[in-house]
Amino acid sequence: MSYAIQWVRSLVFNTYMYFMLLPWGIVFAIPAVFSRRAAIYCCRSYCWHITWAASWMIGLKCEVRGTPPQDEVLIAAKHQSFLDVLMIYGDIPAGRFIMKDILKYAPIVGQFGLRVGCIPVKRGKRGVAIKKMVADVAAGRLFPGQLIIYPQGTRIAPGVKAPYKVGTGVLYKELQQDCVPVACNVGVFWPKRGVLRKPGTAVVEFLPRIPVGTELPEFMKQLEEVVETRSNELMAEAGFTGGDV
């Protein structure tokens, strides 16, 4: 298939993806006010629909490997594009993200994000937010479920290296929960910027848990090693050789 045709298909898909936020938001607006469970179902069903639509609209299939956690854990995930957000959230029962503060003002996305328990963090004030989360943990004010954090703090393109921030380790220690690392190759097909979406098989993989009680330096080392190693393997499996995506 030519580049031009795939680009047009991608544009149509992207438009469809954002347009479909409207009917989802309207249908679930009132139920979500009264029920966090309804808000969670709204978000998960939207994720399911968009990943299904990607398979026939742009030829991008989505595959989840490993065992998505069903209990309360910290999920520390590789973040390459919006697609890994959809795939992770759609396969866990009660996820909540640490998200950029500006997203809480986004129509529909912001309101539902706050309703399901996402935690907004202002740029440059991640440390303050983590201290507040630690305090909320101690006070029992956090929503139950799976807290999803991106240890590198933002989307990282395939082949780009970025440090893992210690805030993930602080949360792991304070939450006193197992950590489930997540690797992915989605950036090979769905880059962090631009219109084009490539056909293929995007993979998100839930890796073996890092049990609660691991010392912080060892936890950070182990987390980075397993996520980066497996993500590199998944990207190589998808044909990525280190060039432009």
DSSP state of 54: H
Asked if 56 and 168 count as a contact pair (C-beta separation under 8 A), the reply is no
pTM of the model: 0.91
First-to-final CA distance of the chain: 17
Structural contact between residues 163 and 224, judged by C-beta atoms closer than 8 angstroms: no
Residue-by-residue DSSP string for 78-93:
---SHHHHHHHHHTSS
pLDDT in tens for each of the 245 residues of the chain? Answer: 699 999 999 999 999 999 999 999 999 989 998 999 999 999 999 999 999 999 999 999 999 999 999 999 999 999 999 999 999 999 999 999 887 778 888 888 888 888 888 887 776 666 666 676 666 655 555 677 899 999 998 899 999 999 999 889 988 998 889 999 999 999 999 998 899 999 999 999 999 999 999 999 999 999 999 999 999 999 999 999 876 55
Please report, as a single letter, which amino acid is at residue 114. Answer: L
